[in-house]
Amino acid sequence: MVHNTSGVLGVIPARLASTRLPRKVLRPIAGLPMIEWVYNAAKSCKQLDDVVIATDSEEVLELAKKRGWRAMLTSESCASGSDRVFEVSQSIPAKIYVNIQGDEPLLRPEHIDALLRPFQREGVRVSTLATPCKPDEIHNPNAVKVVTAPDGRALYFSRSAIPYDRDNSGLICKKHLGLYAYRRDTLELFAKLPHGLLEQTERLEQLRFLENGIDVFVEETPHNTIGVDTEEDLAAVEALLLLW
């Protein structure tokens, strides 16, 4: 079924069967399920015309129904969040799709505002975010780093510490935040492209764009997040949200 066309559609992929922290999108944080923190932040962003949760779980779908959220069931076989957003795009047309990770409960509307800023420039097809990398995250493979050209184009993403500061110049690494915005045709192209060697080696889906010559523009934000993958992440996020 094809729904009404949206200008900018926020999509929250919410996979229930996560491997490192099962059922994490439904785990309670400061009294609310994780997905509710994400949804509320996304809905408060005025640049999004609509927000939909894309899940592989009837349980998440039922929660959305109770809360009055827009949601749809997507295939369990989706390999990544971007693949799940692509599946949504097949039934909900939009000019730009915003991929909002369901495990980012520290999401702010300002993140999405920054993510959409590059689209004011001619020719931008994909955008993502970066924030200054804390010293204790530089060598943490779970904190993805990005290096960019002066105009904001991503040169490379890696789980390693990049760039290597040979002369100890004090250059601040950029930590990649896993939110994306794509034009409709670029999202469709992404879904058709083969998984490249770099993507498979680093286990980073955004490298598929770079391996196929598609520029990814990186907008910087001062607002860090904690993507929840472990019990420790969950505790750290809850401590912060209790202070909000």
Quick one: pLDDT at residue 6? 67
Single-letter amino acid, residue 152: G
Q: Do domains 1-107 and 117-224 have the same CATH topology?
A: yes
User: 64 Cβ partners below 8 Å, 6+ apart?
Assistant: 53, 55, 70, 71
Return the closest-CA partner of residue 226 out of 237, 218, 235: 237
Is CATH 3.90.550.10 what the domain over 1-107 is classified as, yes or no? yes
Q: What is the pLDDT of residue 1?
A: 37
| C-alpha–C-alpha distance, residues 24 and 35, integer Å | 9
The parts of the chain modelled with pLDDT lower than 70 are: 1-6
CATH class in words for 117-224: alpha beta
Residue type, 151: D
Alpha carbon distances (Å) from 29 to 62, 148, 228: 19, 34, 11
| Res 78: pLDDT | 77
Domain ranges of the chain: 1-107, 117-224
Spell out the residues 6+ positions from residue 133 whose beta carbon is closer than 8 angstroms to its own: 143, 145, 172, 173, 174, 175
